[in-house]
Amino acid sequence: MNSVNQDKLSSARFSEATNAFVEKFTASVMFDQRMAKQDIQGSIAHATMLCSANILTEHERDTIISGLTQIANEIDSGQFSWSIKQEDVHMNIEARLTELIGITGKKLHTGRSRNDQVATDIRLYLRDQIGMINSELRRLQVAIIDLAEQYADTIMPGFTHLQVAQPITFGHHLMAWYEMLKRDYQRLQDCSKRINIMPLGAAALAGTSYPIQRELTAQLLGFAQVSANSLDSVSDRDFAIEFTATASVIMMHLSRFSEELVLWTSAQFDFIELPDAFLHRLFYHAAKKNPDVPELVRGKTGRVTGHLVSLLMLMKSQPLAYNKDNQEDKEPLFDTVDTLLDCLRAYADMIPFIKPKQEKLYQAARQGFATATDLADYLVRKGMAFRDAHEHVGVAVKLGLSTQRDLSEISLAELQQICPMIDNDVYQSLSLEGSVSSRNHIGGTAPEQVRAAIQLARAEINQCAKTAR
């Protein structure tokens, strides 16, 4: 027969103690205790507001805040004793508070419910975590910019369909990564606006009859505004879904970076060297190094996307207002935060030490007739229609294939047999350097434009940092 917890007999409504298995099954303190800091922060603000509204005396407020401060110290030092008998982080802290200061501790819950309390805690927690995520994201962006600046002139092949298409620069490729992360940062900022709304005061679902001052509580907690509808306040998890969706996009971008790094470090490409600290050397094959970190980040992307689907499924059939289902929102959310932070940190640490193999990249860009488009553009500038130019280029490429020569290696006489309009200046267009330099416009791969993009990116980051202060 299952054991029971006699402490759960305190409610007159229930005639039986809670089954020990059910007690453990329904408890969330094992994972929601990570919100203890935010729970205490919210409780201090709530107590301050209750005093301002003449619901608590100043002495009661000060006693409560003193007790909560002691609990925060106990948690920080690892001396706090968590118990599943108290079910969640909120009840554990409230029980300890009552133990410390007596009946005054029970007055803290006046004018609120665990429903609006947990919704507030999650928002405070996410707000704090987004600050940390932003820091790591910025660190990664700066690392990419620094590396791009170092190799703004390094020529490499640009690919479509994983086939050599046109020459670009390594710096230009890296700045494409930066643009992805720039959008990610913007999405996080936008997501933060909907997180920074305070549900506290909605109570269980209908508000409270006490004369609470929600605007004061919001001000104390740094919320931009209070929620507008009590039913929606306690049951809304859109902000958590939106954050996880944003995290999924960031992870998708990191996964794309990872795929390229895995390809570039392979023997078939051999484009770059990754630092040994981020590789795994096989003991039976000393020369073989596996790109463990990029591969693992690529794998963890599915994990975060899975959490997004989990939260969507969690909410899809819930009626208003709060339901016990919502206890399942925290573990996928917490793991999303942890995984994203770890992956961003790994990349921010790794990127500065990437070393492109410049000669390998240059020779790779010579394959696949990467300057064929440049020859077509050259003929168009001479007055030929693009469709006709395209046909002439096809003949030149066929000649190159049959003789195993790049377009830049075909003699002027042979090119003039294909098209008499071609002159000696064509080789400026057919060289990799000439091809890259000719893309000298905003967004182009010319080194001049890459450096301009880097300068703009640094200015954007500096401006955001000033705004944040």
Neighbours of 242 (CB within 10 A): 18
- Domain topology for 369-454: Ribonucleotide Reductase Protein R1; domain 1 (1.10.40)
- pLDDT at residue 287 is higher than 70: no
* 100 φ/ψ angles, rounded to the nearest 5 degrees: -80, -40
Write the DSSP symbol of residue 52.
H
Closest CA to 406 of 167, 168, 169, 171: 167
Yes or no: say if 141 and 348 are a contact pair by the CB < 8 Å rule.
no
Closest CA to 83 of 35, 27, 37, 38: 27
pLDDT at position 50: 98
pLDDT at position 279: 76
The amino acid present at 289, given as its one-letter code, is: K
Identify the helix (H) or strand (E) that includes residue 356. Answer: strand 355-356
Per DSSP, the three-state class of 226 is strand
d(CA 54, CA 61): 10
pLDDT at position 459: 96
Angstrom CA distances, 459 to 45, 142, 244, 301, 453, stand at: 38, 11, 29, 30, 10
Exposed, middle or buried, 361 (CB in 10 Å: 0-12/13-18/19+)?
buried
Q: For the domain with range 21-110, which CATH number is right: 3.20.20.210, 1.10.275.10, 3.65.10.10, 3.40.640.10?
A: 1.10.275.10
Cα angle value 102/105/109 (rounded, 5°): 150
* 226 φ/ψ angles, rounded to the nearest 5 degrees: -100, 155
Yes or no: say if 446 and 438 are a contact pair by the CB < 8 Å rule.
yes
Mean pLDDT of the chain: 93
Give percent above pLDDT 90 in the chain: 88
- What is the pLDDT averaged over residues 30-39? 97
Name the residue with higher pLDDT: 11 or 342. 342
Task: Kindly state the tokens that stand for 237.
Answer: 């998890």
What is the separation of C-alpha 243 from the centre of its chain, rounded to a whole number of angstroms? 9
Identify the helix (H) or strand (E) that includes residue 129. Answer: helix 114-150
The domains of the chain are located at: 21-110, 115-154+167-358, 369-454
- pLDDT at residue 67 is higher than 60: yes
- pLDDT at residue 3 is higher than 70: no
Closest CA to 243 of 169, 191, 295: 191
- What is the pLDDT averaged over residues 337-351? 98
- pLDDT at residue 101 is higher than 70: yes
Q: For the domain with range 115-154+167-358, which CATH number is right: 3.40.30.10, 1.20.200.10, 1.20.59.20, 2.40.50.140?
A: 1.20.200.10
For the ranges 72-81, 194-203, 222-231, 408-417, which has the lowest average pLDDT? 408-417
pLDDT at position 6: 39
- pLDDT at residue 210 is higher than 90: yes
pLDDT at position 434: 93
- pLDDT at residue 464 is higher than 60: yes
pLDDT at position 14: 52
d(CA 302, CA 111): 42
Give percent above pLDDT 70 in the chain: 94
* 82 φ/ψ angles, rounded to the nearest 5 degrees: -85, 140
d(CA 469, CA 463): 10
Confidence of residue 7 (pLDDT cuts 50, 70, 90): very low
Neighbours of 136 (CB within 10 A): 19
Per DSSP, the three-state class of 196 is coil
Strand partners, 5: 18
Question: CB neighbours of 218 closer than 8 A, spacing ≥ 6?
Answer: 198, 200, 224, 225, 226
For the ranges 5-14, 83-92, 224-233, 455-464, which has the lowest average pLDDT? 5-14
* 320 φ/ψ angles, rounded to the nearest 5 degrees: -70, 140
Angstrom CA distances, 315 to 200, 240, 418, stand at: 21, 11, 66
Confidence of residue 73 (pLDDT cuts 50, 70, 90): very high
Question: CB neighbours of 330 closer than 8 A, spacing ≥ 6?
Answer: 28, 31, 32, 122
Confidence of residue 97 (pLDDT cuts 50, 70, 90): very high
Name the residue with higher pLDDT: 338 or 9. 338
Angstrom CA distances, 333 to 91, 109, 311, 413, 426, stand at: 21, 26, 8, 67, 58
Cα angle value 96/101/106 (rounded, 5°): 70
d(CA 269, CA 262): 10
What is the reported pTM? 0.92
Per DSSP, the three-state class of 368 is coil
Yes or no: say if 92 and 108 are a contact pair by the CB < 8 Å rule.
no
For residue 468, whether the previous peptide bond is cis, meaning omega lies within 30 degrees of 0, is: no
Closest CA to 50 of 223, 218, 216: 216
- pLDDT at residue 363 is higher than 70: yes
- pLDDT at residue 12 is higher than 60: no
Q: What is the CA radius of gyration of the chain?
A: 31
- pLDDT at residue 76 is higher than 70: yes
pLDDT at position 368: 84
- pLDDT at residue 438 is higher than 60: yes
Confidence of residue 16 (pLDDT cuts 50, 70, 90): low
For the ranges 27-31, 343-347, 404-408, which has the lowest average pLDDT? 404-408
Yes or no: say if 311 and 244 are a contact pair by the CB < 8 Å rule.
yes
Task: Kindly state the tokens that stand for 90.
Answer: 């909120």
pLDDT at position 451: 98
Per-residue pLDDT reduced to its tens digit, 103-154: 999 999 999 999 999 999 999 999 999 999 999 999 999 999 999 999 999 9
Identify the helix (H) or strand (E) that includes residue 249. Answer: helix 238-265
Closest CA to 188 of 252, 248, 125, 122: 248
- pLDDT at residue 185 is higher than 80: yes
pLDDT at position 211: 98
